[in-house]
Amino acid sequence: MTHTSPSLPLTGRVAVVTGASSGIGAATARRLADGGASVALLGRREDRLEALARDLRRDAPGAVLPVAVDLTDAEAVPEAARAVAAALGTVDLVVANAGVMLGAPFERARSDEWDRMIDVNLRGLLHTSRAFADDLLAVGARGGPADLVHVGSVGGHALFPDWSVYCATKAAVAHLTRNLRAELGPRGVRVKNIEPGVTGTELGADMQDLGMRETLSRLRSGVGPLAAEDIAEAIAFAVSAPPHVNVAEMVVVPVRQG
C-alpha cells in the first residue's frame, strides 16, 4: 500500500492531463506533480510539453512524461494511452481538459469552427475517457481512488449570447459526466465535472471573429478573471478527497461573475 503525507497527498498516483501545453492543463499538471503524482502530459504542441516536462522534473517527486498526440484522432489516443502505461504504469487519474472556445454570432459563424469545437471539446474528451477507462475500472475494482475529471464550463448551463455552439459542447460534457457517473460510479470510478467561469488563459485567442476576441477581452478585464492555477487547485482538492467521496460537480467562478 502506498502511504501519503498531508504535503504530498497524491503520492503513488498516476495522472494524465490533456491540453497540458498551456493554461489550465499546464497548471493542473504542475499542481498534481507537486502533490506527488506521476504525470503524463498530453497535447498537440510537443515543444511546449517538453519544456513543461523539463521544468517539472526539477522538483517533482514523481515521473513526468510528455506525449504529443492529437486527441481528435481516434486511433492515436489509445496509442498514447499504451505509451503512458508502458512508462508510468496503470493510470488512476485522468483530467480531460483539452478544449477550444470559438465564438461568433450564430448567423455568421464559421462551420469549420463549429466542427473544431465538437471535435476537441466532445470527441477528444470521449476518446480520452475511453482510452483510459479500463485502467480506471481496474483501480476502482480494487478500492481506488480512481478519478475521471472532465473540465467543462459554466457555459454548459448558463446563457452566453454568441457562444451558442461552444456552450452546447459543454452542456454535452456536463450530461455525459452525469451519465458516466451513474455508469462507472458503482464500479469504483469517481467521475466529476469541474466547471470554470471566466479564466485568464489562451482559450479563445485563435477565434476568427475579431469582434468576439475583443468581447472576450473586455469580459475578462471586467470581472477579474480566475487564474489557471485556481482551477488546478480545485481539481487537486476534488481528487484528493477520501476514496469514498466524489466531488461530482464543482462550479468555480470569479466572485464578480456572480
Residues tagged active-site? 166
> Rounded to the nearest 5°, which phi and psi values hold at 89?
100, -165
Which strands sit side by side in the sheet containing 64-68, from one edge to the other? Answer: 64-68, 38-43, 14-18, 93-96, 147-151, 190-196, 249-252
Q: How many C-beta neighbours within 10 Å does residue 3 have?
A: 7
Three-state secondary structure of the chain: CCCCECCECCCCCEEEEECCCCHHHHHHHHHHHHCCCEEEEEECCHHHHHHHHHHHHCCCCCCEEEEECCCCCCCHHHHHHHHHHHHHCCCCEEEECCCCCCCCCHHHCCHHHHHHHHHHHHHHHHHHHHHCHHHHHHHHHCCCCCEEEEECCHHHCCCCCCCHHHHHHHHHHHHHHHHHHHHHHHHCCEEEEEEECCEECCCCCCCCCHHHHHHHHHHHHHHCCEEHHHHHHHHHHHHCCCCCCCCCEEEECCHHHC
Cell readout for 204 is 479563445
